[in-house]
Amino acid sequence: MDSVRRPSLKLEGLTPYDPKYLPAEAMMSANENPRDVSDELRRKIESAVRQVHFNRYPDPLANDLRDLIAEANGLDREHVLIGNGGDELLFDTALAWGGPGRTFLNLPPTFSVYAVNALLTDTDVLEIPRLADQDFAIDEEAVLKAVSGPDSPVDFTIIASPNNPTGLRARTEFLHELLHATDALVVVDEAYFEFSRMTMRPYLDQHENLVILRTFSKAFSLAGVRVGYILAHPSVIQEYLKVRQPYSVDAVSQAIARVIFQNRAEFEPGIEAIIDERERLRAELAKIPGVSPYPSHSNWVLFRIPRAGEVWQQLYDAGILVRDFSATPGLEGTLRVTVGTPEQNDAFLEVLKRGAA
Ligand SMILES: *Cc1c(COP(=O)(O)O)cnc(C)c1O
C-alpha cells in the first residue's frame, strides 16, 4: 500500500501535546525545579543503578518504592500505586473511570492533559469554568450542584490543587464537602503540594472516592526520570491495576526514585527558597506598570501583560523561556513564569522592566 486507512475519528482536530520546549539558557516554562539533584545524591543513585539487572523485567508494581511511600504516609502498600510520571496515572484514571457513556467534570482553565485523556477515551466532558474575576477560584457552588444527587452524570473529576496554570490551591473545606456530596471519583492532583503545604492525605480514611496524585517531577527535581504515584483506597487501586501497563515503571527509574524519596529531606531548603522567590517575583511583577500577577500557591506565577506574545519573544531573545498562554481560551493575555534561581528571576524581571520603561 502507498496509503493508510484513516485513524480513529476522535483524532480529527487533535494535535500532539507540545510542551513548547525550546532550548534556552533559563528554562522557566515547565514548572521544573531549577536545581538538579546534588552530586552527593547522584553518587548514591549511581551505586543503586549499578545493582539493577538490565536483563530482567522490573517489579511491575515497584513494591519497594511503594512501601517507602506508604510508610511515610502512614499507609499500607495497597493504598499506593506508582506510575510512569503522574501523567500515566491521569490516563489510567480516564481508562478506569471514563469511557463511552461516562462523564468527566473538568474545571478549566486547568492542566490540558485532563481534557485530552477524556477525548481519547470517548468520555463526555462537563465543564464548570473557574471564576476569572476571582483569580480562577473554583465555582464551588456550581460544582457541588453538578455532582450532587443520584441523577448527577458525573463519574469522576480531577482538581489540580494548586491549579496549573493559574496558581490557587483548592480550599480544603470545599474538597471535603465535595467528597461528601458525591460518590464520583475525586482526584486531587497534588503535583505541586510541596509548594502549597496543603494535602488531602488526612481525609483518605474517610472517603473511598478520594485519589491523591503526586509526582517526583517538580519539587524533587526528577522530571527527566518519570515517576509519580497515587494514594487511594485499596478498592480504588484495585481498579487502576486492571488498566495500567504492567511494566510502565522501569527498574532504573524505580531505583532512582527510591534514593530520592529516602533523601527527600534534602530538598526542603530548596523548596523553601522557591516559595520565597515566588513571593518576591510576584511582588516585583506587581510593581511593573501594566503587569498583573495572579496569586500562586505553587512554583510559578501567571501574569497578565499587554502584548503578551511580543513579551514572550523578547524574553526568549534574552535567553529566557516562559510559557505563553496568551492563545489559551480563558487565559488570553497571560504568560506563566516558573520560579527559577534568584539569578534567573532577576534576569527575567530585568527584561520586563526594560520593556515597560
Ligand atoms: C507536572 C504535572 C503533573 C505530573 O507530571 P509528571 O511529570 O507526569 O509526573 C500532573 N499534574 C499537573 C497539574 C502537573 O503540572
For 40-81, write each residue's pLDDT tens digit.
999 999 999 999 999 999 999 999 999 999 999 999 999 999
Residue corresponding to grid cell 489559551? 328
Q: pLDDT tens digit string along 293-321?
A: 999 999 999 999 999 999 999 999 999 99
The Cα 107–Cα 90 span in angstroms is 15
* Residues written for the chain: 357
Give the per-residue pLDDT at 356: 76
The Cα 112–Cα 115 span in angstroms is 6
* Complete domains list, the chain, with CATH: 19-37+267-356 (3.90.1150.10), 39-265 (3.40.640.10)
Residue 357 pLDDT greater than 80, yes or no? no
In Å, the largest CA–CA distance within the chain is 62
Give the global pTM.
0.97
Cα 144 from chain centroid (whole Å): 23
The Cα 316–Cα 90 span in angstroms is 31
Ligand 1 surroundings by CB, under 6 angstroms = 31, 85-87, 111, 160, 164, 189, 191, 215, 217-218, 223, 228
Residue 20 pLDDT greater than 80, yes or no? no
The Cα 167–Cα 183 span in angstroms is 27
Q: Ligand 1 centroid vs 141 CA: distance in angstroms? A: 27
Q: Quick one: 124 exposed, middle or buried, by C-beta within 10 A (0-12, 13-18, 19+)?
A: middle
DSSP class of 201: G
Closest-CA residue, ligand 1 atom 14, reads 191
Residue 355 pLDDT greater than 90, yes or no? no
Residue among 214, 215, 222, 226 whose CB has most ligand 1 atoms within 8 A, to mutate: 215
Q: Ligand 1 centroid vs 178 CA: distance in angstroms? A: 23
Q: Ligand 1 centroid vs 195 CA: distance in angstroms? A: 14
Which residue type sits at 169? R
Which residues touch 9 (CB under 8 Å, ≥6 apart)? Answer: none
Q: Ligand 1 centroid vs 330 CA: distance in angstroms? A: 21
Ligand 1 atom, smallest distance to 227 CA: 9
